[in-house]
Amino acid sequence: MPLGRKRARSPSPATLKAPLLPSPAGGSTSTAASPQKSKKIKLLDTYTTESPFPDFPHPTATEAKEVHAILASHHPNHSSQRQLPSTSNNSAQTCGGVPNVIESLIGTILSQNTSSRNSTAAKRNLDAAFGRCDFGAMASAPRSAVVEAIKSGGLANKKAATIQKLLASVKAKHGDYSLQHLAHPGVSDDDVMKELVSYDGVGPKTASCVLLFCLGRDSFAVDTHVFRLSKLLGWVPPKADRVLAQAHLDLRIPGELKYGLHVLMITHGRLCSGCKNQGKGACPLKAYLKDRKGVKGEEVEIMVHEADEQVKEEIG
C-alpha cells in the first residue's frame, strides 16, 4: 500500500464543450479538450491510487524522514514549516503562495524556466501594468502588452499566451475570472488537480504547487531540482520522467513531509554544488548514500553524473 496519503478517486470531469472564443491576440481560442489535455487527465485518473511503478519500493517513509532531517539540519535558515498564503507575497517568488487561486497559477507559470529574481520582477511588472488580480484587464489586453510586462521572466511570448488562454477558459467555464471554489474544503485534492490541469499550459507540477502553497493541501510537486535529487537518491526508477516521478512520489512520501521535503530539496538543489554538474565537493546527500546506504564513493559520483544526464535529457 502506498505510504503517502491515499487520494480518493473521483469521476473524470466532463469534456469542455464551450464555443470558440475570441482570443486577445485575434483569432480564436477553443476550450475543447485537446489531446494533451486528455492525456494529462488520463494520467491523473490512472495514477490516483496506484503508482506508475507499483513494484518500486522507494522512498520508504523512513528514507523520506531521514532525508528531510538531513536537509533541515544542513539548511537551518530555510524554514521547511508550512507557510500560510499571504496577500503580501509575490506569487512568482513563493511558488504560488497567495490565497487567490488564479494569481497563484499565474505566479507559478511565471516562475517556470527562469530564476526567482526574474520571475519576481515579471510578476511585479504585470501587477503594475494591469493591477494586481485585475484578470479582466490582463485577459482583454493586447498580447504584446502582456509580453512587454513579463519579458524579464523569459519565454514571455509563451507565458503571455498561456496566461491569457487560461483566463479566457476560466471565464468561459465559470462566467467569472475566479477559481476560488477550489479553495473550499469540500473539494477533493483530485478534483482540484483535474480542474487545474484541464487548462492548457497547466501541468501536474504547476497544479501541485497551487495545491501545496495556495490551498494548503498535502501535495508533492516535482520541479527540476526535486527530480534530479530524487534520481540521485534512487527514489524513482531511471526510466521515470518528471510527470511519472511526481505521481509516484506523491503516493510514497508521507503527507506531513511533502511541504518540507519539497522546499528543502529545492533549496538544496539550488545551493549545493557538490551534487550537481558532476560536482566533486561535499554534499550531505552524497554522505548519506555512502554512510547509511553503503554506496562506494566512486559509485556515488557516477550516480551524480547519471542523475544530471537524465535530467538534461528530460528537459531537452
d(CA 50, CA 102): 29
Note if 205 is an active site residue: yes
pLDDT digits (tens, 9 = 90+) for 227-276: 999 999 999 999 999 999 999 999 999 999 999 999 999 999 999 999 98
Q: What is the mean pLDDT of residues 65-75?
A: 96
d(CA 269, CA 190): 28
Q: Is the pLDDT of residue 169 over 90?
A: yes
Q: What is the mean pLDDT of residues 270-288?
A: 88
pLDDT band per the 50, 70, 90 thresholds, residue 9: very low
Q: Is the pLDDT of residue 34 over 70?
A: no
Candidate from 11-15, 119-123, 147-151, 293-297 with smallest mean pLDDT: 11-15
d(CA 16, CA 112): 26
CA distances in angstroms from 266 to 8, 36, 94, 206, 271, listed in the order given: 28, 27, 12, 15, 9
The single residue listed with the C-alpha cell 508550512 is 82
Right CATH number for 101-188+195-214 from 1.10.357.10, 1.10.340.30, 2.160.10.10, 1.20.140.10? 1.10.340.30
Instruction: Compare 242 and 277 and report the one with higher pLDDT.
Output: 242
Collapsed DSSP state (helix, strand, coil) of residue 193: helix
Q: What phi, psi does 21 have (nearest 5°)?
A: -115, 140
Task: Report DSSP state, residue 96.
Answer: S
Joined together, the cell numbers standing for residue 42 give 488520463
Q: What is the mean pLDDT of residues 167-175?
A: 97
pLDDT, residue 19, reads: 33
pLDDT, residue 4, reads: 53
pLDDT band per the 50, 70, 90 thresholds, residue 104: very high
Task: Report DSSP state, residue 181.
Answer: G
Q: What is the mean pLDDT of residues 70-94?
A: 92
Joined together, the cell numbers standing for residue 40 give 494529462
pLDDT band per the 50, 70, 90 thresholds, residue 313: confident
pLDDT, residue 14, reads: 35
pLDDT, residue 80, reads: 82
Residue intervals of the chain classified under CATH 1.10.340.30 are: 101-188+195-214
Report the share of the chain in percent with pLDDT over 70.
87
**H or E element that contains 66:** helix 61-74
Q: Give the pTM.
A: 0.84
CA distances in angstroms from 292 to 131, 180, 221, 288, listed in the order given: 52, 45, 26, 5
Q: Are 159 and 150 in contact (CB under 8 A)?
A: yes
Q: What phi, psi does 10 have (nearest 5°)?
A: -130, 160
Q: Which of 40, 123, 205, 276 is catalytic?
A: 205
Residue intervals of the chain classified under CATH 1.10.1670 are: 51-80+220-315
d(CA 182, CA 24): 26
**What is the architecture, at CATH level 2, of domain 51-80+220-315?**
Orthogonal Bundle (1.10)
pLDDT band per the 50, 70, 90 thresholds, residue 281: confident
pLDDT, residue 42, reads: 77
